[in-house]
Structure 1
């Protein structure tokens, strides 16, 4: 599922007129200027001002140059309404920035001969199968990491099943996923497939069918985190809470109100998909990871973590990413392809490796330019909406503009973003009507879907709830669309997903949930219990 406001924001920015694009210099072979003096002061002021403009609660930023960490600072607060300031050591969930760290760990196993990028997955995970038996036998470890397996993203199934999901169940569910493209031919970002790749690496590291999560986190600790001196980085919420220096995640509802999200709710969503997005870290420790990438696999201090040859293989693009028409050219160029856990592109001729992360309430970005020996880390506790995402992108682009002495290319897109976002949100709110108890009464009850499990549709006072247990949403009717309701609010914010109620073939109601992913998905729920009585 995707946050409603994130989708709106991306559409707004990508629809900006191409006349705003500025001519840029060819920078192949050009060394960046040092981040010192006035440039350093201007960069810090830009981060501070953009944080305020975009409404992001807090951020930590690190810059690596010449294989040294030359900048580390914190901005804003750990939690709205509190005074505790974010520092370079504040722990935040880095979300999908976990992905390149996972492939770095896998590369160390390739170094040791315990796995190959071309090893068939079925040789490592006996329970793995896809809908296509032929593809099942030939799909490799690299195919799971390249965002090109042929399986589209199905995040709804992660969210709805998160409280009962285990690595074994995640792997077993793959056999029911539809294949919508030949393997290796289309960019299709899939958290499930990437997670299975991480668990295949865990099996190669010695994990059994029932110990894959523990084997994965142990391999990450022993092979990557400890050698790079990322001692406080962790997959354990208990470790984070015991540490004490952590940020609180924030989400936004359809009314545009930002508020904190309980970390226990956030944690449950990501445990089973740990290889794809569950790592907690700080700007200081992620900067050490970027140093290791820039040094070709040597950790700060000189210890060899991974051989440069296998590390470089993760940087090679495996599939092209279609450009967003009318979008900022600078972002299209930096996101031209996907490797093994890395977005691959360029900035005016300079190669760029990057990855962003958007969790419920955290947004992050790391990027580096190998030939320029330059890297960046941005961690935020901002909502997974367009404002936080474009904050991280603006900081990345502005750093490059300053150090390569280029004109501003992202800034012309930013000033009108919040106003346009508010206007589009207002249009959606205007389409929402009040819940009519008599209209929804025939549809109240318990429903089931094979992939998403059971839900209850019930009235609580004047609120219509779509309740999946620990995960629930308030529904509001869309005016002019028969029996169709929008996910208006809930513990994880607002979504573009809708629910449409229908009369079933045997007189029992059913509902169809339409999910906004990169590829549209629908899930049909059938009634499994008599209609419930409205509750006060």
Structure 2
């Protein structure tokens, strides 16, 4: 049974300890909202309002299953086919690699198996034609992470393309289509993509931390029409509770069949493994996992400093929706959700995790080598003293087998465990590995880079992106990055004269003709502009 007093105390204490200004929560059981409450405020400044279950938040990637629902309705209408190449619908479509438009399908876009890399743009064009312009001009510049269908690789551009595909076959703007196919039937009365509509309701703001440790509002609200389908809906926990009710009731909401049971089942069926310790996977715009043996369907998101969690235990007909307006690594949102699931589902306090097996050492030669990941940095798989090991940016972890192609390592000075998947193609050496679901590609290591400290000094300074403020400095012959959001630092490993790897991923400095450094690219996806240029 849910201990509401204990839960509310835990939320309030966590928010105060980690400087989270506002949070809202709804819990659904058997089609009924059994709990809904807001905590804190929309803003720490003078425009502040108390958070309620009706307060709007940016929901980031929780937008995807909403977009996915519209796409499945178009599939039901015969306007789209999950397995037909995209070229059939958009004859001018091109990608960075020639001929890919004849291979990628809607199913691949919705399951993140298209091979398209991710990218993000928190501040972009607002005009209605911007989504098509993005597909015509920006999409062809993105190199593939991997061949289509190879493995799961999260992609904002892929979901944006799926949203544009919906525009093409319906003949309607994406936002109008979402209103007609999803928001209106589910009575999601405040959900919108338009911040000019959202500002007429109570609206949460994202927050930064000043140098003195106090909070301030981000006075530039993230907005980019090309990324609407993947990341930019604004919603409330009560509106999302309606969406959860439909998903948990075979597509029916208040006696109206919004999706067929077959479409809902397709969305909730594993299309691809993500190589995690819990054997998680991804359906069609929904993540699939288990918690203490209970199947979970979920999605999470983050944008600016907004965080969102959407969790459904389908067999128990329970859903949790949680939105908050400042992401902080110290804010134990996973623990909060675990506490609620434990109490709502009467689960044991302890549950045995996956147990190691005897490894198949015959495939180790296919695994060993160096890999580079945009979000993981520099990694090396090696065999040391008859033990498969992972070196991750200078830290070595012994690896233990869970399956022939799935291993885990314990993170030093932590109880956390890291999953490493090896998606092999026949008997060839692994070209990619997945480290906690994030792809890393095999590379040939160059000879050791001799530090050019004068050039590194030119990189030093403060850079501002959509999520954080990063400061680079040289100390004791090493390049150090400091993040203002959580006051953490990381040491970099040079890959060449302009690229560096670290635990946060790969950073590449752009050097202009005059020798200045106006920006640094993070993960080949995000341009972080220099503040002191």
Shorter-chain TM-score above 0.5: yes
Report the counterpart of residue 183 of structure 2 in structure 1: 225
- Match for residue 281 of structure 1? 235
Give the Cα separation in 2 of the matches to 1:251 and 1:407: 38
Q: Assess, with a 3 A threshold, how the Cα gap between structure 1 residues 364 and 531 changes in structure 2: closer, same or farther.
A: closer
Give the Cα–Cα distance (whole angstroms) in 2 for the partners of residues 485 and 253 of structure 1. Answer: 20
The aligned residue for residue 64 of structure 1 is 28
Aligned 1:490-505 pairs, distance under 5 A? none
Contact between 2:20 and 2:326, CA under 8 Å: does it hold in 1? yes
Q: Which residue of 1 aligns with 2:152?
A: 187
Matched-pair contact (CA < 8 Å) for 1:78–1:246? yes
Distance 1:41 1:526, change over 3 A: closer
| Distance (whole Å) between structure 1 residues aligned to residue 134 and residue 491 of structure 2 | 23
Partner of 2:10: 46
* Aligned-pair CA distance for 1:177: 2.2
1:399-418 equivalences under 5 Å are 399-408=340-349
| Shift of residue 523, structure 1, vs aligned partner | 4.3
Shift in Å, 1:105: 0.9
The residue number in structure 2 matching 1:247 is 204
Distance in 2, Cα, partners of 1:230 & 1:472: 31
CA apart distance, 1:135 = 2.7
Greater fraction of residues in helix: 1
Instruction: Give the equivalent residue in structure 2 for 1:423.
Output: none
Contact kept? 2:27, 2:36, Cα under 8 Å: yes
The whole-number CA distance in structure 1 between the counterparts of 2:345 and 2:468 is 48
Contact 1:191 1:276 (C-alpha < 8 Å) held by counterparts: yes
SS at match of 2:118: coil
Identify if the C-alpha distance between structure 1 residues 314 and 231 changes in structure 2 by more than 3 Å, giving closer, same or farther.
same
2:474 alignment partner in structure 1? 478
The runs of 4+ residues in structure 1 deviating greater than 6 Å are 160-165, 438-442, 492-502, 515-518
Distance 1:151 1:311 in 2: 25
> In structure 2, what is the equivalent of residue 512 of structure 1?
498
Match of 2:405 in 1: none
Distance 1:495 1:91, change over 3 A: farther
Q: Deviations over 1:475-531 (max 9, x none)?
A: 43131346x5647569x99997989899xxxxxxxx83658798x555463424576
CA deviation map 1:380-432 (0-9, x unaligned): 1122x3234x32x222211110122234469xxxxx99xxxxxxxxxxxxxxx
- Note if contact 1:496-1:515 (Cα within 8 Å) is conserved in structure 2: no
Q: Check whether the contact 2:292–2:347 (CA below 8 A) recurs between aligned residues.
A: no
Other structure's SS at 1:242 match: coil
**Structure 1 345/441 Cα, relative in aligned 2: closer, same or farther at 3 Å?**
closer
Deviation sequence 1:218-252 (CA, Å, 0-9, x none): 11101000111111111011111122x11111234
Q: Identify the residue that residue 108 of structure 2 maps to in structure 1.
A: 143
Match of 1:267 in 2: 222
What is aligned with 1:95? 60
Aligned to 1:322: 275
Structure with the bigger RCO (C-alpha within 8 Å, sep 6+) is 1
Q: Does 1:527 align with 2:512?
A: yes
Q: Determine the structure 2 residue equivalent to 1:373.
A: 317
Residues 189-214 of structure 1, C-alpha deviation per residue, up to 9 Å, x if partnerless? 1111111112112212214xxxxxxx
